[in-house]
Structure 1
Amino acid sequence: MHHEEFDPPEALRNTIKCFWYNRKDFGEQPSNFEVVPDSYAEIIFYFGGPCSMSSDREPLPSPFMMGLLHQPVVFYTQNHIEIIGIRCFPWTVLDLLGLPAGKDGVRIFEHPIAQLQPALNNWIQAGKIDEALARVKQFFLQAQSQVTMESMLFKAGAAMREANGTLPVSGVAEAAHATVRTLERKFKESSGHTVKDVSGLMRFEQVRNRLWHYPDSNLAGLAHELGYTDQSHLGREFKRYSGTTPAAFARKKKP
């Protein structure tokens, strides 16, 4: 497997975390891979083999959107697949694309961004990944120039990111210079989720990443660092999002 991540242009850094490219050969037999929840919404373009959510279902269109997940999702594919992903902050992506909020985990939508697929496919087939990514960045720069984004949400999101999801809702509202009620209403309008929903996923993502890279991490210490009540609280939240315990996840990553 080959995976690369690319920083967005300065003008997009309040809306997009990164652009990424992934390439993998699965072989001729049908295969599957699991996507674990994190705190981002992603636009997914894929090329090559099929990609579906069940071994006997029609392939998903390209692009599709992965909103915030609350449990792992399994995708089915085979042969060679290449992906261009746009990893967005969940409080900005729907406004940026002019889409209504929703809590769909995997979302199929109609949008002018789909018109990029043929050109991107040609560049991918020619091995011109940089050209494909440049075209995607250009699309989002143009989209953002035509949208007035909510500065309150930018401030709230920045505070949440800086605190890795450990800031209480009242603290997020204070950082955004808003009341809790106003912030919650704006946040749900823009993302379909509450501040608490997204903060919980941010904390889970921090634990997941730490255990991924350092499987021997002390769970009690992580719980304290990331604002969980105790290790048991961390364990419950981790299992809620991943379907497994932190210890089992760490054992799986050790090899």
Structure 2
Amino acid sequence: MEAPDIHHKEFAPPVELQDAVSCIWYSVRDFGAVQTGFEVLPDGYAEIIFHFGDSCDMFYNGRLHPLPSPFMMGLLNQPVHFYAKHKLVVIGVRCYPWTIFDLLGLPTGLTGVQLFEHPVAALQAALTKLVKAGKLEEAVALLMQYFSDTTATNGTDTTLIKAGAAMRAANGTLPVAQVAAAAHATVRTLERKFKQSSGFTVKDVSGLIRFEQVRNHLWRYPDVNIAGLAMEMGYTDQSHLSREFKRYSHTTPAAFAKRPPDSQRL
């Protein structure tokens, strides 16, 4: 299948959002007149997704289901398949999974692709006008301002922020005890707070962060030596990396490396 044309741009968040938001991004794809499928793989983030165009459908239970805008893409543990046609514009708020629920003021527990009710949905009309006018960067700025204002009332536990920063700095390779030490917390306290804030354990999220790094490395360097990559990323051996990679991607690292890196995100 020929990949659609893609224009993707990411914007660093302002200082007041940096503990909760990795970036706000937009992506523009022209799929043509035929409805086309694309795959989104797991990573170590949760995202709020706005989309603009003819349609954005998700395939599950044997059929296509239309997705409203916005929807939430929580942590994934397997690939998700979407379908679109003609021009699709997507704007995403890429959050850390241990902060997204505090940022939105929502209860923990939304994983995978989820519908959610929140005042941020009221921005859809204003964002649509900006997108139709081709003012994508203004649309991004509007979202940044909204969430900058939101953080004034919805804060995140500093223990989680420190733990999350340590996990990402180590590409998901730190043992739980070392993550707890970096956060100045006991393992028991950290696990409790992490489960409450993200719905996942520290080990769960570390595994996704490490998979994300391997996935990105294979996209950039498809001819990499898998055994050497396993050692670099802290896996026991090549077989360990392959098992974990197949768990999240449903394919082997070698087969994945042959794919074009065009379906990273919506």
TM-score class, shorter: over 0.9
For the pair 1:114 / 2:121, whether they are aligned, the reply is yes
Q: 1:53 maps to what in 2?
A: 58
Q: 1:33 maps to what in 2?
A: 38
1:7 is displaced (CA, Å) by: 0.7
Q: 1:43 maps to what in 2?
A: 48
Which amino acid is 1:130 matched to? E
Q: 1:206 maps to what in 2?
A: 213
Q: 1:12 maps to what in 2?
A: 17
Give a deviation string over 1:84-103, Cα, whole Å, max 9, x none.
00100000001110111115
Q: 1:81-230 residue pairs with structure 2 within 5 A?
A: 81-230=88-237
Structure 2, unaligned stretches of length 5 or more?
Answer: 1-5, 262-266
**Aligned residues: CA RMSD:** 1.3
1:32 is displaced (CA, Å) by: 1.0
1:56 is displaced (CA, Å) by: 4.7
Cα distance in 2, alignment partners of residues 29 and 252 from structure 1: 21
Cα distance in 1, alignment partners of residues 182 and 75 from structure 2: 23
Cα distance in 2, alignment partners of residues 103 and 244 from structure 1: 26
1:223 is displaced (CA, Å) by: 1.0
SS at match of 1:53: strand
1:221 is displaced (CA, Å) by: 1.4
Q: 1:197 to 1:79 in 2, by over 3 A?
A: same
Which amino acid is 2:124 matched to? Q
Cα distance in 2, alignment partners of residues 220 and 93 from structure 1: 35
TM-score by structure 2 length? Answer: 0.93
SS at match of 1:196: helix
Cα distance in 2, alignment partners of residues 132 and 216 from structure 1: 38
Cα distance in 1, alignment partners of residues 248 and 63 from structure 2: 26
Which amino acid is 2:58 matched to? M
Pairing partner for 1:77 from 66, 74, 84: 84
Shift >4 Å, 4+ stretches:
none
TM-score by structure 1 length? Answer: 0.97
Pairing partner for 1:241 from 248, 259, 265: 248
Give a deviation string over 1:73-129, Cα, whole Å, max 9, x none.
001111111000010000000111011111520010000000000000000000111
Structure 1, unaligned stretches of length 5 or more?
Answer: none
Q: 1:220 to 1:58 in 2, by over 3 A?
A: closer
Cα distance in 2, alignment partners of residues 41 and 103 from structure 1: 10
CA contact (8 A) 1:40 1:68 kept: yes
For these two proteins, the number of residue pairs brought into alignment is: 254
Cα distance in 2, alignment partners of residues 205 and 114 from structure 1: 29
1:28 is displaced (CA, Å) by: 1.5
Cα distance in 2, alignment partners of residues 117 and 253 from structure 1: 32
